[in-house]
């Protein structure tokens, strides 16, 4: 969410930003919110004048009674009472206008960084760099669920009976591999100076609307019936929510946290064969990175975060590339985003395994996350997040890149301590 003052003073910049995101239907909202803002400030000024007037007359009433001017005191009391009714109307109008402005401002997209490429959708995202040499073995690689089934590592049929489509049972060495990857990711991030955290797996609606757009919320979140609670789609939500309505000493920044959680997502819509199995599912686990920092440090942290994911995957011998998200592919709160994609030898292409986002001060403005500067002034923090790893999707890349012709799976050296020193499974 952008600053109303910035919109008021720079409507053309805000409109051009909307055009750059190919959301022209939102253009009228800029003029609408400006008109509401004028009316809101006028109403507030009128209410402030009325409050000042009531305070003045209230003091005069006491003086009149002290001097025996009862008739004048009664007249002033009637005037104060009438002003009270008018003030109540103004305050109700002020609150109504404020809510309207807030609802529109929540829809207007954040100002994207100047470095973001302009494009309509993810088909126009731009490859930045490749890490590791993508290889295709001289034997056929089966579909990932076929690999796992040959290792007795998955039971989709039972999961459908128990919970429906989009769920799974992981078994044996595959289940152990899943847990080993998360444990390794935890230690990997701790070794890089991040504080490990296990957050709440449910959050209230005011946190949900603080961390994402309404469209994202509807598409992703599961609501708990008869409760003001939602299951988290990623631990980023509750991790940023941890800082709601707080003021932090500038010297204490940045906060660099790495969090584990299960994640729950609706995943609306039909998907192709490559997104079945354990690629696009309703429940998974994830290791995340979250940073709260000073505005001038956010781009530096942005580059650190995506590099952490690249380094993590390369430590497991998985080739990856980074992809700059174009303007039309950015969620409304995001300033800049880079996806990390892993190489799939079976598909002979890369697919997304993580996404790094700089949200500027958008989440901080919604959640009131402020910083106390040395000069005594307060300003909004910047927030960032990035995926370290999200198995079981990551297991697809892992299995394909470490598969042998005899259907055994090599365990990279970095992961062996978490797999009982095994060098292979199968």
Contacts 24+ apart (CB under 8 A), 162-165: 163/282
Residue 350, pLDDT > 50, answer: yes
- In the structure, what pLDDT confidence band is assigned to residue 269 with cuts at 50, 70 and 90? low
Give the count of beta carbons closer than 10 Å to the beta carbon of residue 146: 12
Is residue 102 reached through a cis peptide bond, with omega within 30 degrees of 0 on the bond before it? no
Can you give the pLDDT at residue 272? 45
CA 107/CA 105 separation, integer angstroms: 5
- The pTM assigned to this predicted structure is 0.89
Cβ-contact 202, 224 below 8 angstroms: yes
291 within 8 A of 248, measured Cβ to Cβ: no
4-105 adopts what CATH topology?
Helix Hairpins (1.10.287)
Q: What is the mean pLDDT of residues 327-344?
A: 96
- Which of the 8 DSSP states describes residue 282? S
Mean pLDDT in the chain?
92
| Closest-CA residue to 362 (of 390, 339, 330) | 330
Domains 4-105 and 122-425 share a fold: no
pLDDT value of position 81? 76
CATH class of 122-425: alpha beta
Show me where the domains of the chain are located.
4-105, 122-425
- 261 contacts: CB under 8 Å, gap ≥ 6: 198, 199, 201, 232, 234, 235, 238, 285, 286, 288
- How many CA atoms, within 13 angstroms, populate the side-chain half-sphere of residue 396? 25
Output the pLDDT for position 83. Answer: 74
Q: Is the dihedral of CA 279, 320, 197, 251 positive or negative?
A: negative
Listed in sequence order, the DSSP H helices in 221-261 are 235-241
What's the rounded mean pLDDT across residues 288-307?
98
Rg of the chain (C-alpha set): 27
Where in 271-419 does DSSP place strands (E)?
283-293, 320-324, 336-344, 349-358, 369-372, 378-380, 382-389, 409-410
The confidence score (pLDDT) of residue 17 equals 97
Which sign, positive or negative, has the C-alpha torsion 285, 166, 353, 111? negative
Instruction: State the Cα–Cα distance between residues 271 and 171, nearest whole angstrom.
Output: 25
């Amino acid at each position: 969410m952008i600053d109303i003052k910035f919109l008021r003073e720079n409507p053309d910049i805000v409109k051009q930003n909307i055009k750059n995101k190919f959301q022209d239907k939102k253009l009228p909202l800029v003029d609408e919110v400006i008109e509401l803002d004028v009316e809101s400030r006028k109403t507030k000024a009128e209410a402030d004048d009325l409050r000042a007037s009531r305070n003045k007359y209230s003091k005069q009433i006491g003086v009149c009674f002290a001097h025996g001017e009862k008739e004048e005191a009664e007249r002033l009391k009637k005037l104060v009472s009438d002003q009270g009714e008018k003030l109540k109307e103004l305050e109700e109008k002020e609150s109504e206008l404020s809510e309207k402005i807030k609802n529109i401002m929540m829809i207007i997209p954040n100002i994207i960084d100047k470095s973001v490429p302009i494009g309509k959708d993810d088909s126009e995202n731009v490859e930045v760099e490749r890490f590791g040499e993508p290889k295709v073995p001289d034997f056929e690689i089966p579909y990932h669920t076929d690999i796992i089934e040959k290792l007795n590592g998955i039971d989709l049929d039972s999961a459908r009976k128990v919970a429906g489509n989009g769920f799974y049972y992981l078994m044996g060495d595959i289940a152990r591999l899943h847990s080993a990857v998360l444990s390794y990711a935890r230690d990997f991030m701790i070794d890089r100076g991040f504080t490990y955290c296990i957050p709440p797996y449910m959050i209230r609606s005011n946190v949900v609307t603080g961390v994402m757009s309404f469209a994202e919320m509807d598409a992703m979140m599961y609501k708990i019936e008869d409760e003001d609670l939602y299951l988290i789609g990623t631990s980023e939500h509750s991790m940023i929510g941890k800082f709601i309505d707080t003021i932090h000493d500038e010297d204490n920044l940045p906060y660099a946290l790495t969090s584990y959680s299960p994640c729950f997502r609706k995943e609306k819509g039909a998907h192709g064969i490559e997104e079945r199995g354990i690629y696009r599912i309703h429940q998974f686990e994830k290791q995340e990175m979250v940073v709260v920092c000073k505005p001038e440090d956010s781009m530096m942290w942005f580059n650190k975060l995506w590099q952490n994911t690249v380094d993590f995957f390369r430590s497991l011998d998985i080739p990856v590339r980074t992809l700059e998200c174009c303007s039309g592919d950015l969620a409304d709160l995001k300033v800049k985003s880079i996806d990390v994609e892993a190489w799939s030898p079976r598909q002979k292409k890369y697919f997304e395994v993580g996404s790094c986002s700089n949200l500027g001060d958008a989440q901080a403005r919604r959640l009131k996350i402020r910083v106390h500067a040395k000069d005594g002034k307060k300003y909004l923090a910047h927030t960032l997040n990035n995926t370290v790893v999200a198995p079981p999707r990551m297991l697809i890349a892992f299995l394909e890149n470490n598969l042998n012709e005899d259907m055994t799976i090599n365990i990279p050296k970095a992961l062996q301590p978490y797999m009982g020193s095994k060098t292979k499974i199968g």
